[in-house]
Structure 1
Amino acid sequence: MSPETVRGTRGEDREHYTRAESRAIRRRSLRLLGAILKPLRRLVLLTMVVVIASTALRAIGPTLLAFGIDEALPRAVDQGDWWPAIGIGAAFLATGGIGAALVGWYVVLIARVTQAVMLELRMRIFRHTQRLSLEFHEGYTSGRIISRQTSDLESIQELLHGSLNELVDAVLLGTFTLIALFLIDWRSGLVLLGFGLPLVVLMWWFVRESQKGFRSTRVVSARLIVQFVETMTGIRAVQAFRREKRNDAVFGRVSDDYRRANVRVIRLFGALDPGLILLANLTIAVVLLWGGLRVMDAGLAIGVLLAAVLYVRNFFGPIEDVAMFLNSYQSAAAALEKVSGVLEEEPTVRDPAAPVRLSAARGALSFEGVRFGYANGRTVLDLAESGQRDLVLPAGQTVALVGTTGAGKSTLAKLVARFYDPSEGRVALDGVDLRDLAPADLRRAIVMVTQEAYLFSGTVADNIALGKPDATSDEIRAAARAVGADAFIESLPDGYATDVNKRGGRVSAGQRQLISFARAFLADPAVLILDEATASLDLPSERQVQDALQRLLADRTAIIIAHRLSTVAIADRVLVMEHGRVIEDGTPGELIASGGKFAGLHAAWEDSLA
């Protein structure tokens, strides 16, 4: 893998990279930042002009003081001419006032730039992660995604809004100060440059070490968020299995790792700050001593000496701000690396370049030489080795997939829904390869209902209308009645207008499943996939749904994955899978009579009912 293809999610928890990888990551981050700032270039240019002007005005102050002490005051005292002193005073006040006004304007401008950048980054992450394939989301924990949207973006915002102000001020003020110092007294300027060498060494050491430290803190911070989110998401399992103490210990270790990572960074500042103070005091002492000697010899005016001391102090004053910027920069750079890594991820399931429209799908499915393996390369589905190269599901047929856990049933269903693409061969709907089908037509033609039955924030009606947002109230109610959900929905505090996330609107797992059924039926797909969709239903509810399925699936293709063989009874055809292959294919009656794998499963199910 070349450095240019380094992906953030492929090794983002690593604390160390090769030089080539680090360069590639930095280039990737800079490309992202450049792309976001490009539409803001006029605002950025105006901000730069304002900050340069304000800093230049602030740098004039000591020179005005020197002229006032050495020229204006003697003329006022000796000759009674106060106009130069008045002019210098007015100029000092004007430069200070205008400079302050420009600083205020600059703060507003940089805030506008920062908020525009943050909005674009936040929306890019959200849009992009929504469009990434299921493979990404199955391998990327929700805690890490939350970390990208929260702590990482907060680090970047802190850099742009706060620390960048300090850096720009320090660099420009330092530059103008050095230039002004050389103009009024080049000897003091040389002294300052002489002490610049140990300053550069000190800052280089800090940058190198802090880069390692801040990358470590970002890695451990992400682990901390992941541990917290996973524990809270799985709180039922945690409490059911009494995992609280063990989780306390794990979270405590991660928290301690985070504490120690931050302490290492703080120690770096503990060495940097005294070093800066020492260098500043030594430089001022040398400038003052040498300048004082020259003043005694009449080789230097007292006002110029005062200005030189002020310039040296002004030069070292913002260096502390540079250190604080480096603090934020290293943290934000590590965060930007991770954000750019997510945005560099490419969907493994891509939209077609020339999509084929299929406005009215019939629902005929075919699997032609299909093999599939996940990212690790291991083949988990091999229909080409199932005795026949092609597997055809005619339109309108209800097919049940049966087999032990890991047999490949859900993988086959995910290929039909195009959550994944086959590694070899093709899956076709009405003769059109799913990879060529227009995404809108694909999502309209094929709907999958899973065991999770996730409900989004909003009303019950909103959740049922998820696949058909323009559905009328009558259509929503009809879909609910079709799956037997109407009665319990009407019993909720506000009926179909009940918010599912508010008190009184909570629904059971079985009721959530019924809502998801209503959602799928309202979408009216040509192909309906039920992946363990009745697992959360009790027996009365399951019978009710089976009655609804028999009525509503009459004119559509259905793929049913279920361990309960009672659900399989409504199928026209059963495919028995094992190790990613179809080992039996026929009607339920035929397979029971054949005495094969399905017959054994059916006999065991009947025994369990006795």
Structure 2
Amino acid sequence: MTTAVSGQPAPDGGDERLGASVPPHAEGAPAPSRAPSSGDAFDQDVLPAPKGASRTLLLSLLRPHRGRVRIAAVLLLLQQAAMQAGPLLVALAIDRAVPAFRADDYGPLAVVGAAYVLCSLASGVLQYAFIRASARVSQDVLLDLRGRIFRHAQALSVDFHERYTSGRLISRATTDVESLRELLNEGLEELLGVCLSVVYICALLVYLDWGLGAAAVLSFWPLYLLVRSFQRRSMLIYRKRSTAIAAVIVKFAETMNGIRPVQAFRRERPNDTEFRRLNHHHERVNGDAILEMARYVVSSRLVANVALAAIVVWGAYRVAGGGLALGVLAAAALYLRRLYDPIDRLGMFLNSYQSAAASLEKIAGLLAQTPSVPEPAEPKSLPTRDSRRPGREVVFEGVNFAYRTGGEVLPRFDLTLPAGRTTAVVGSTGAGKSTLAKLLARFYDPTTGRVLLDGVDLRDLAGPDLRRGVVMVTQEAFLFSGTVADNIAIGSPDATREDIERAAKAIGAHDFITALPDGYDTDVRKRGGRISAGQRQLVAFARALLADPGVLILDEATSSLDIPGERAVQRAMHTVLRGRTAVVIAHRLSTVEIADRVLVMAGGRVTEDGSPDELIAGRGAFASLHQAWRDSLV
């Protein structure tokens, strides 16, 4: 809703606007949230999710790819077996092949050498095959997840989007999905590789010498404690990091989307200060994550090196005493090095895992949200429109409404809008006009009562039927990137070019469209920035006319236009309203003149009801406003 800036005239001089200018949020919409303090600014994007929702989400993403996951697992098993055969072959070479070679028997050394080469080649080929298979699975999973987020965000109701900013949605679909990509592409290979190598190596060490195997297993206890400690601390840090980057994205998106008022009101410096604060917080949290990783790596390497040194010294003592073969000690030293080296890689995996877990938790919380205006379990159909009775009848039956943020906007009321009639709804900002329109469009459901369309409760209508039956044209006619023709055809995707041009001609938009560089094929660019506000509104009317709804809602469709633009739009309104039930939310009295009926609202109630002439002849608020408007024109 557009209101005059304090101390400045409204775009049209302010003479025709009904009611005093008050904060925009008073018009039934939730009040804007306060500026976040340093203590709570970074936790506002956390959405509740059922326990175990993250695990359930991940399993549901992997379930369609079970076959390929099994193939990837087999490839990794074989690759690890080929790779871990190396030290065992070294032991055979030292203890058997070299003594045989000294005795002029070259066969064992040749066999061991050939086996070593073959195992190395097999390990490389199998690792390539595993990476290829797992990469395909991970990309398909990420493709599915991004699609789920996008589809679910579109399906969620308007009240959710008023509470949860688009910047946070973007963060969920980009930064958080990217964290999961790192886990799937790199982390899972690290985890599975480490786990398999530990199992293989411990088994081989026990096979070579049970004492060395037992010592290696026991040395893992302090390493396990380190991993658990790192996991607990890093999870908290990564949750904060995910929230911090979301706050940065939200601020950036908000500033770029509002760049005109930012520059008009010289908000660059305050915005820069706030962005610097958010960016520094993200830097600090990121630094904490790096330091935590550094502590883990240093501690794990220290424990691993001490354990390795102790076991090798003990093994050397046994070799000197004849209780252990030299080749077995050499193989054990190689295996122990391989056993402890992945501990660093395990830390990298945990790094990716904690980041992905925090991100997956937030994505799961988003996907767990349900629309506040759900689809009906058993949808009903609207009666076929009677060509002899244009439009559809609208009935508000015992309707009461309050937003989640609190405060009753519409006290209980009853209202009937006859089919084929145009009803203008006027009143000061905050009177409940737009809320009434949003209930009719079913952007919200009433707290109590029903809204009926030709006797059918809106809650019983499937979404497509409702959108075909009721169309809203808002104050800011939103155009999507694409051609003019594409934007007109949004309400009727199957329309032909002839249908599109016929609708544009009926509205009076054909001439300006054909004057564009590429006519109907001209790209209007972001939000229709290539054409004027009045032209965007005409395109929106052509879109509504082509959709041919039974009920049309015009929410302040002329309030932001200049006089020539307003007149062009008003001419188009006569065409688009003909033969339909119409609700016109009006802030200008010139818009009201086309209505059959006028409702004056105050405090969520209808205080005056009648034709424009009847109300002008009376002594109510509408008559006073009309007289003030007439005086301003003299």
TM-score range, shorter chain: over 0.9
Q: What is the identity, as a one-letter code, of the residue corresponding to 1:363?
A: R
Q: Give the one of 553, 576, 600 matched to 1:576.
A: 600
CA distance in 2 between partners of 1:320 and 1:135 (Å) = 46
1:602, CA displacement in angstroms? 1.6
Pairing 1:432–2:461 present = no
SS at structure 2 position matched to 1:435 = helix
1:468 aligned residue: 492
CA distance in 2 between partners of 1:474 and 1:29 (Å) = 50
CA distance in 1 between partners of 2:155 and 2:196 (Å) = 43
Moved more, 37-46 or 369-378: 369-378
| 1:114-152 Cα deviation digits (max 9, x unpaired) | 011001101111111111111111111110111111111
- Contact map agreement 2:480 2:527 (CA 8 A) in 1: no
2:393 aligned residue: 364
1:391 aligned residue: 415
| 1:509-552 Cα deviation digits (max 9, x unpaired) | 22111111111111111111000111232212322322332244
- Contact map agreement 2:481 2:527 (CA 8 A) in 1: no
1:85, CA displacement in angstroms? 1.7
1:13, CA displacement in angstroms? 5.1
SS at structure 2 position matched to 1:399 = strand
* C-alpha spacing 1:259/1:430, structure 2 compared with 1 (3 Å): same
| 1:205-248 Cα deviation digits (max 9, x unpaired) | 11111011111100101000000000000000100000101111
1:501, CA displacement in angstroms? 1.3
1:440, CA displacement in angstroms? 2.1
* C-alpha spacing 1:294/1:215, structure 2 compared with 1 (3 Å): same
Structure with greater helix share of residues: 1
Pairing 1:134–2:163 present = no
- Contact map agreement 1:492 1:504 (CA 8 A) in 2: no
1:344 aligned residue: 368
| 1:399-434 Cα deviation digits (max 9, x unpaired) | 001011111111110111111111111000111111
Q: Give the one of 17, 38, 42 matched to 2:63.
A: 38
2:299 aligned residue: 275
- Contact map agreement 1:359 1:441 (CA 8 A) in 2: no
Q: Give the one of 63, 79, 94 matched to 2:88.
A: 63
Q: Structure 1: which 4+ aligned runs deviate by more than 6 Å?
A: 502-505
1:377, CA displacement in angstroms? 4.1
* C-alpha spacing 1:552/1:202, structure 2 compared with 1 (3 Å): closer
Task: Tell me the number of residue pairs that the alignment of Structure 1 and Structure 2 aligns.
Answer: 590
**RCO higher in structure (CA 8 A, sep ≥6):** 2
CA distance in 2 between partners of 1:504 and 1:440 (Å) = 25
CA distance in 1 between partners of 2:43 and 2:480 (Å) = 35
1:561 aligned residue: 585
1:3 aligned residue: none
Q: Give the one of 567, 572, 581 matched to 1:543.
A: 567
For residues 186-335 of structure 1, the aligned pairs below 5 Å read 186-335=210-359
Taking every aligned residue pair, what percent have the same amino acid on both sides? 53
Q: What is the identity, as a one-letter code, of the residue corresponding to 2:363?
A: V
Pairing 1:150–2:179 present = no
2:192 aligned residue: 168
1:286, CA displacement in angstroms? 1.0
Q: Which structure 1 segments of 5+ residues have no match?
A: 1-10, 385-389
1:590 aligned residue: 614
CA distance in 2 between partners of 1:75 and 1:89 (Å) = 14
Pairing 1:380–2:404 present = no
Q: Which structure 2 segments of 5+ residues have no match?
A: 1-39, 386-390
| 1:427-467 Cα deviation digits (max 9, x unpaired) | 00111111112322211111000012111111001101110
CA distance in 1 between partners of 2:366 and 2:126 (Å) = 38
CA distance in 2 between partners of 1:438 and 1:191 (Å) = 67
CA distance in 1 between partners of 2:453 and 2:627 (Å) = 35
Q: TM-score, normalised by structure 1?
A: 0.93
SS at structure 2 position matched to 1:442 = helix
Q: TM-score, normalised by structure 2?
A: 0.90
- Contact map agreement 1:466 1:519 (CA 8 A) in 2: yes
1:4 aligned residue: none
Moved more, 240-249 or 276-285: 276-285
